[in-house]
Amino acid sequence: MTTLSKYKDNLITNLSFDYALMIIEFSELLREKKKYVIADQILRSGCSIGAHISEAQNAESKADFKHKMKGGAKQADENEYWLLLCKHSKTYPFNEELIVKLESVMRVLNKIISTSKRA
């Protein structure tokens, strides 16, 4: 796990950062195979998860925090969609480890969102 010094002990920021690094590599592979549109969609949504989570760390209120975390969850759902298209396409590469890592991010993110609703 890559530790961001700014969020050293923050599981979700570290998980999402590591996931974004994996997504960058996968999108580069897609670009090498000339799968530009899906590569761009995967790169945008996959890196946006962590961007929303990072923004939430400096939220102005609890409502703002929840809103930003939900934005991360929406991006995770979108990213999963693009990855599943790759998985089920006969002409696209796929890396199962991405889905495993994304599910891990989504579990932690959904737990944070559900806990913040109760607070």
Range of the domain at 71: 8-118
Tokens of 110: 């959904």
**pTM value?**
0.93
- Which has the closest alpha carbon to 15: 103, 82, 75? 103
- Which has the closest alpha carbon to 20: 1, 43, 4? 43
- Flag whether 96 is in a domain: yes
| CATH classification at residue 26 | 1.20.1440.60
User: What pLDDT does residue 118 have?
Assistant: 79
- Flag whether 1 is in a domain: no
Query: Rounded CA gap, 97 and 80, in Å?
Result: 12
Tokens of 87: 């998985």
Considering its fold, how many domains does the chain have in total? 1
Q: What is the mean pLDDT of each run of 10 residues along the chain (119 residues)?
A: 71 97 98 98 98 96 97 98 98 98 98 88
- Flag whether 108 is in a domain: yes
Query: Rounded CA gap, 63 and 80, in Å?
Result: 26
- Which has the closest alpha carbon to 76: 30, 117, 44? 44
- Flag whether 2 is in a domain: no
